[in-house]
A = this chain, B = another copy of it.
């Protein structure tokens, strides 16, 4: 746990205290961790695997707001406000999830200023990614959002690369905010921009060009 980027700023001693009541649960692929509307009982941290957070309406509409990987914590806002979950969480891969009981966690946050400061900066960063999300949804096309997603998969900023898609295409479609059919077509559009798909391997011929495409017409970021 000390290796998680989230908590590595805390001293081992504090870390031990905070996690003294924590428990670890394993989930199989497609297991539901909690449902939209449930009361938040614990802060969760992904130890291994992948977790998807999806908002749903009963007529079948569903959207994946976030995909989390190992080391990321989630639902901090729900636990802190003690309000029902706005999203459901599902294990996209076999996963181990750490639970920090809510009552205890809220007390720790209230009493330990180092922890509350840590949570604050973490939530701030997270907040900004959500703002970006809102802007992208309103202002960018499906193909641009897909390009953004692909670029997020690599750390390289120059030349070309080949990335492996870490999820099934339908999960990616939900993440990008379109139907699977539209995702296929969006990949088709990106072919003209040097993106070639083979199974779950995607080769990007010109990273800067693709970056330029998805920020097309943008003033400043």
Contact = CB atoms under 8 A, between A and B. Distances in A.
A62 B135 CA distance: 9
Contacts of A25: none
A131 B87 contact: yes
A86 to B, nearest CB: 5
A211 B47 CA distance: 40
Interface stretch (A2-10, A14-22, A53-61, A149-157): A53-61
A138 B219 contact: no
Identical chains in the assembly: 2
A208 to B, nearest CB: 18
Given A219-B57, A220-B36, A76 B124 contact: yes
A219 B58 contact: yes
Contact of A130 (B110, B127, B219): B127
B139 A137 contact: no
Contacts of A1: none
A88 to B, nearest CB: 9
Question: Max chain B CB contacts within 10 Å: which of A58, A124, A133, A137?
Answer: A124
Interface stretch (A89-97, A113-121, A161-169, A188-196): A113-121
A207 B37 CA distance: 23
A84 B220 contact: yes
Contacts of A109: 117, 120
A61 to B, nearest CB: 4
B86 A139 contact: no
Interface in A172-221: 177, 216-221
A168 to B, nearest CB: 19
A63 B56 CA distance: 24
Given A109-B117, A116-B120, A124-B77, A217 B59 contact: yes
A134 B137 contact: yes
